[in-house]
Every structure is written in C-alpha cells, then in structure tokens.
Amino acid sequence: MRAILAFILLILFSARGHTQSYIFAKLQGSPIDTAGWNFSGSAYIGNITGTGNSEIMVCPAGNFLSGAVFYKNPINLSLCNRWTAEFDFRIFDGSMADGLTFCFLDVPPSGYVVGGGMGIPATANGLKICFDPNPNCFPLDFGIYPKIEIRWGAGYDECWKQPTVDNSTGNLSFVRSNTYNHAKITYDNGNISVYVNDVLYVTGYQQFNFAGYLGFTAATGAKTDNHSIKNVTIYTDIPPSDAGSDQTICSGESVQIGTTNQAGYVYQWSPSQGLNSGTVSDPSVQITNNNSYDSIQKYYVQTALSGSPACRSTDSIIITVKPVLPYSAFVTADKTNITTGTPVTFTATTANLAFPINYQWYKNNQPVGTNADYYTDNSLNNGDSVWVSVTGNNS
C-alpha cells in the first residue's frame, strides 16, 4: 500500500514540477513586486480581473499598441543551460488582437514595435514562445487559431516553419478567453517544452549560447485585446547572491559583509582590496582612507554551485569610508586665579567631530557633570585635575 501511495504522489507533483531549485526572478504579490523588472511601451501594473494591483498589463486593448516587461539580469546560456518559467496569462476583452509572447532575447525591447510582430523587435535574436490568437499568414485561416508557436532567430514571423500547434481540432480555444491560463516553459540544453494548464502542447529543439534577457512582449495591431500576466516565477540552476546592505564606516574600521554560508555554494568576491578573504560568503572589510573626502568602494560577489562554478549570479555592495581627520578636543576655564569656593566653568571645544557629540567630564578621574560641553565646579582644591572625554557620531 505504501508503494502505491508514493507512486501517486510522484505523479501529482510532476505535473507542476520543475528541475531547477532557485528562483531567478518573479512577479508576484498584491500589490505586485516589480523589483528588478523593466517596463517599456504600454506595459503597466493594474487590476484586470482582480484587485490590489496584482497583475501586469503587458499591452492594453487599443489599436497599434505594444508593451514589454523584461528582467534586468541576463542569463548566459553558454554557461547556464537550463531555466523554467511559470506564469498565468490572459488575452481577452477586445476584437482578437495579435497576441502575447514569452521571450529570451539578446536585446530587450524598448519603445514602440508594430502590432503584427507581437511587440518583438525585428533585430532581437533569441527564443520566442508565442500565444497567437490572430492570423497574419496568407491565405488567412481563422479556423486554426489560436496557435502556440516556438520561434527563434531575429525578429518574429508566425509563418515560419518552426514548431507550432494550432486549433484545427478545437483544443486551443481557451488560449484567448476571459480566464487566466497557467503556462510552463522549460529550456534544457536546447530542448524546449511548452505546457498550458499542465498539458504539454508543443516541443522544439534549438540551442542558444549567448547571454539573454527573459520577459514578455505583446501587441495589438489593427485590433484590440488586453494582454495581461501574473504569478510569474523563473527558476534556474543559479543560486542567489547576497552581498549585504550598503554601509558607511570610519577609516580603519572593520565591518562584515555578505551573508551566511550555504553548503554546496562557492563564492568569489572582487576586488580583493580590503577583504580578509575573497572566497567566503561573509568576508570582513577594513580600509584606510587618508584623503580629506569620503572614499567609495564597490564590491561584487558571484555565487555558484560547486558542481557548476561557471553558472553564477552576481550582487554588489557599496562601502563608504570616512576620511582620517585631525580630531581634537581641548578645555578652557573662565578663571585661572581663584580662592576657595569660587565657581569655575570649564568649556570643551572640539574639531572635526560629527554631531551629536557625547561629553563625559572627570574630576580627579571620577565621573562628574552632565552630558554637556561645559562643567562648573565651586569646590576646587590645589592639585585637582579636570578633564573631558568626547565622542562624535563619526566614532
């Protein structure tokens, strides 16, 4: 009985499973978190079927509009040869426009792109997974649309003889509908698979050996439809990098950067200046700044799996080092010749200390007074000593 249950669980999981373990990029949340993503053309965050700004309108229902949303960091498929993208998409509300595409392109789109090209620039090279509701191949045959197409090369043409599945049997009518559909696209060493709602519809084979950007394009052309996406997650074999938060330190001060070490990861920091190690997850930084101005040092960390060190992610941190200045403090008294019981006020003057400044006064090495730049005493005797310790906000 246990063996049967284990087999059933494996089948259920594999329908939505993915081979990669690390989230490379995502568009999720309410409101949707777009950190790391670049918008161009008519793309915007909005409410298409829901609330809370949890959806991305890649291209709205208007004539001759286009839009694009691409992640800012590239993947180099000559080094990292697998990724999986999962997302929900919706094409509806108008008069059957040109469609939506998930792309891996050498150059992300910017600005206007003619509708018939699904928003894909004619010079953009790479992989395009196209959800195409509207015919642009002659003679026009509306009966086989919508189509799901795998396209590669520069630009886009739905008439190319590359892997395509059409609606001639009526099994793709849902592609353009009022409800969201779930897509999963996998790339594995040139093997391309396209699933919709957990059903494999089309496969292809084409290898890419350059660094490219993952994202979405859409366009309307002479007709109209809303083209929207949500719940986007892209998985890769690249573990995440974390250089830590930017920090400001004093000259000669030591500070730790990076993150907790993860077993099976390898780390490489650059440049090496000021680091106690360039191959640990959390090195310490110590820099002397002998200038009269702040010194800025940017460090980069690359993180990879020990089994494939060339496939790596990158993060950075900026360390601002305050200069060495001639800090000073000295004390003056308002009287220098007194009799017993005469009050004397001592005043501290400082140089190059940042506010707020803390004061601690001492009389014969015992703490006295308050946290102020002056101290008054009317019980002084011959041989008494008065001094002050000051600490500025710049340590």
Q: Looking at the predicted structure, is the pLDDT value of residue 20 above 90?
A: no
- Domain identity same for 226 and 251: no
Using the structure block, give the residue that is written with the tokens 């009022």. 178
Judge whether 84 lies within some domain.
Answer: yes
- The three-class DSSP label of residue 317 is strand
Judge whether 170 lies within some domain.
Answer: yes
| Each residue's pLDDT tens digit, 71-84 | 998 999 988 989 99
- Domain identity same for 120 and 169: yes
**Model pLDDT, residue 17:** 43
Residue 350, classified by CB atoms within 10 Å of its CB into exposed (0-12), middle (13-18) or buried (19+), is middle
How far apart are alpha carbons 230 and 49 in whole angstroms? 11
| Each residue's pLDDT tens digit, 119-132 | 888 888 999 999 99
Give CA separation, 324 vs 272, 358, 367, in Å: 22, 20, 29
- Domain identity same for 31 and 122: yes
- Domain identity same for 73 and 168: yes
- Domain identity same for 139 and 155: yes
In this structure, the chain runs to a length of 395
- Domain identity same for 173 and 253: no
How far apart are alpha carbons 90 and 295 in whole angstroms? 50
Judge whether 7 lies within some domain.
Answer: no
**Model pLDDT, residue 124:** 87
DSSP state of 275: B
- Domain identity same for 213 and 72: yes
**Model pLDDT, residue 1:** 29
How far apart are alpha carbons 228 and 43 in whole angstroms? 9
341 Cβ neighbours under 8 A, 6+ residues apart: 378, 379
**Model pLDDT, residue 354:** 81
| Each residue's pLDDT tens digit, 277-333 | 999 999 999 999 988 889 999 999 999 998 888 888 889 999 999 887 777 788 999
- Domain identity same for 344 and 296: no
- Domain identity same for 72 and 180: yes
**Model pLDDT, residue 98:** 87
- Domain identity same for 357 and 307: no
Q: How confident is the model at residue 18 (pLDDT cuts 50, 70, 90)?
A: very low
- Domain identity same for 205 and 70: yes
- Domain residues for the domain of 158 are 15-236
How far apart are alpha carbons 267 and 287 in whole angstroms? 21
Total structural domains within the chain: 3
| Mean pLDDT value across the chain | 89
Q: Are the beta carbons of 320 and 295 closer than 8 angstroms? A: yes
CATH code for the domain in which residue 316 is found: 2.60.40.10
CATH code for the domain in which residue 119 is found: 2.60.120.200
Judge whether 380 lies within some domain.
Answer: yes
Q: Looking at the predicted structure, is the pLDDT value of residue 26 above 90?
A: yes
Q: How confident is the model at residue 3 (pLDDT cuts 50, 70, 90)?
A: very low
pTM for this model (two decimals)? 0.70
Single residue among 213, 236, 259 that ends a domain in this structure:
236
Q: Looking at the predicted structure, is the pLDDT value of residue 19 above 70?
A: no
- Domain identity same for 175 and 223: yes
Burial 307-321, CB ≥16 within 10 A → b, else e: eeeebbbebebebeb
